[in-house]
Amino acid sequence: MIAYVRGSVASVGAGSAVVDVGGIGLELQCAPGTLAELRVGHPTTLAATLVVREDSLTLYGFADDDERSVFELLQTVTGVGPRLAQSVLAALTPDALRRAVATEDLTALTRVSGVGRKGAQRLVLELKDRLGAPTGEVVDLGSSAAAGPAWESQVRDALIGLGWSPREADAAVAAVAADVAPDADVATVLRLALRSLDRA
């Protein structure tokens, strides 16, 4: 099992990063919040887990061990695979997820792309006694209506992490805001924002 990856960040994309580990580039699928913290050419250490499927080997990277543990626990829920687990962590921090499950906050859970009301109820039912209590300050990445759509701050931070200036990031977010729903998938909006910057 791969527990973590340590090396220099070779590249950062819309949904993944490549880390140079001893001359080998390992691509890790990461949530936007994790990608936003990475800087090309800088060293990093990412908690990691390898998901093995019949036709693929996919490496997922995380900001810390807690995020990785929650990712793995999410996949024990009926109907939740690695992609949906990552979508949950793109919308909610581990502690925000713990709070949502503990308080049965279905509204918070249904903000996750791909999770409907029944899926949210299943998350609460199957994770209620397994996630534990929140360990720190709860930061819900999509809770503030005043801050704009659920994806806005994550996309902006990810663009800045990819090397764009705050002004360019704000312009890209504004350029795509009219074309996507408030609860749109963060990775999808990030790709649209990057395309708008390429055209500019």
Q: Tell me how far apart the alpha carbons of residues 66 and 72 are, in angstroms, rounded to a whole number.
A: 10
Q: What is the pLDDT of residue 186?
A: 77
Q: What is the pLDDT of residue 136?
A: 59
Going from N- to C-terminal start, the domains of the chain cover 4-62, 66-127, 145-199
Q: Report DSSP state, residue 113.
A: T
CA angle 26, 29, 32 (to 5 degrees): 130
Q: What is the pLDDT of residue 13?
A: 87
Q: What is the pLDDT of residue 148?
A: 59
CA angle 177, 120, 32 (to 5 degrees): 40
Q: What is the pLDDT of residue 200?
A: 54
Report the CATH architecture of 4-62: Beta Barrel (2.40)
pLDDT, averaged per 10 consecutive residues of the chain (200 residues), comes to 92 92 95 88 95 91 93 93 90 89 90 88 90 62 48 78 77 81 76 76
Sign of the four-CA dihedral 153, 158, 159, 161: positive
Pairing of the two strands 4-12 and 43-53? antiparallel
Domain 66-127 CATH class label = mainly alpha
CATH topology (fold) of 145-199 = Helicase, Ruva Protein; domain 3 (1.10.8)
